[in-house]
Structure 1
Amino acid sequence: MTARIANVTFHADDPAALARFWAAVMGYPEPEWLTPEEEAELRAAGLTDDDLAARAVAWDEDPAHQRFYFTRYRHEKKHRNRMHIDITPASGRHATREEVEAERDRLVGLGATVEKVLDGSWGPYPEFAIMMRDPEGNEFCLQ
């Protein structure tokens, strides 16, 4: 048996808003975190509106696609997380500069910001990527 990634988890101030952003980025449907039955069960167990608002998910329920999980985290972070995700508008190949730039424009329209453009080479190989931040400041790269 081998492991697999269950979720990419984000600590978020507003889990629902960040879930909507990432659902739009990934082309997933509008997030529906809980069914009415699940919500009723959770409320019967004593959870409040604030408890329910503390979590959200963005996913299209396709096991081949990544599930994004958002949770409110109100503790001071002592160390930075030394990873980020890379996304691409292409499937099965390197995206062209034009595709990356068009996707950058779409993501900015959704609320992302551009941190910096990486335009250079690694040895003989050209590299073009755009470092971006989601609406809550989480870094990701578009390549």
Structure 2
Amino acid sequence: MTARIANVTFHAEDPAALARFWCAAMGYPEWTSWEPDEVAALKEAGMDDDQLAERAEAWDQNPAHQRFYFTRYHHERRQRNRMHIDITPFEDRRASREELEAERDRLVALGASVEKTLDGSWGPFEEFAIMMRDPEGNEFCLQ
């Protein structure tokens, strides 16, 4: 047995809004709510609409694709993220600078912001990445 990543979890002020951003960023169906049978089970367990709104997800139900999970966080962030995710617009090849810049513009239109661009090398290898933040300030890189 080996471990695998079950979710990438974000603490969020507005879980549904952040889920909608990441759904659009990743090409997943837009988040609207939990499935009706899940809502029924949760309500039967005593949860109300406010409690249901404290969590959301971005996923296309494909087990080969990463699931993003959002949970309301009621505390102030005190430091920068200690880890971040890297995303790319293609599954099967490395994106060109022009393609990354086009993807950057698409993500900015969805509500992301650009932190800075890394343009250099690591030994003999080109290193080009765009450091970004989602609408709640979570760091990620586009490469």
Distance 1:38 1:96 in 2: 42
Q: Which residue of 2 aligns with 1:107?
A: 107
Say if 1:32 and 1:57, in contact at 8 Å, map to a contact too: no
- d(CA) in 1 for partners of 2:138, 2:125: 28
How many Å apart are 1:35 and its aligned residue? 1.8
Identity percentage of aligned residues: 76
Aligned CA distance change for structure 1 residues 39 and 60 (closer, same or farther; 3 Å): same
Deviations 1:3-46 (A, max 9, x none): 10000000000000000000000000012441223212222322
Partner of 1:7: 7
Secondary structure of 1:101's aligned partner: helix
Q: Tell me how far apart the structure 1 counterparts of residues 76 and 20 of structure 2 sit (CA, whole Å).
A: 25
Deviation at 1:63, TM superposition (A): 0.7
Contact 2:131–2:140 (CA<8 Å) still a contact in 1? yes
Q: Counterpart of 2:25 in 1: which secondary structure?
A: helix
Of the structure 1 ranges 69-78 and 121-130, higher mean CA displacement relative to structure 2 is found in 69-78
Partner of 2:129: 129
SS of equivalent residue, structure 2 residue 47:
coil
SS at match of 2:102: helix
Name the CA distance, whole Å, in 2 between partners of 1:8 and 1:131: 18
1:37 aligned onto 2:37: yes
- Provide Cα deviations, 1:82-113, integer angstroms capped at 9, x if missing partner: 21000011223221001100000000010000
Aligned length in residues: 143
* Structure 2 partner of 1:60: 60
Please, what TM-score do these two structures have when normalized by structure 2?
0.93
RMSD, matched Cα = 1.5
Give ranges in structure 2 of 5+ residues lacking alignment.
Answer: none
1:122 Cα shift?
1.3
Give the TM-score normalised by structure 1: 0.93
- Report if the CA contact (8 A) 1:116-1:132 is conserved: yes
CA distance in 2, matches of 1:17, 1:68: 13
- 1:97 corresponds in structure 2 to 97
| Residue in structure 2 matched with residue 47 of structure 1 by the alignment | 47
* Structure 1 CA distance for aligned equivalents of residues 98 and 125 of structure 2: 18
Higher alpha-carbon deviation: 90-99 or 29-38: 29-38
- Deviant stretches of 4+, over 6 Å: none
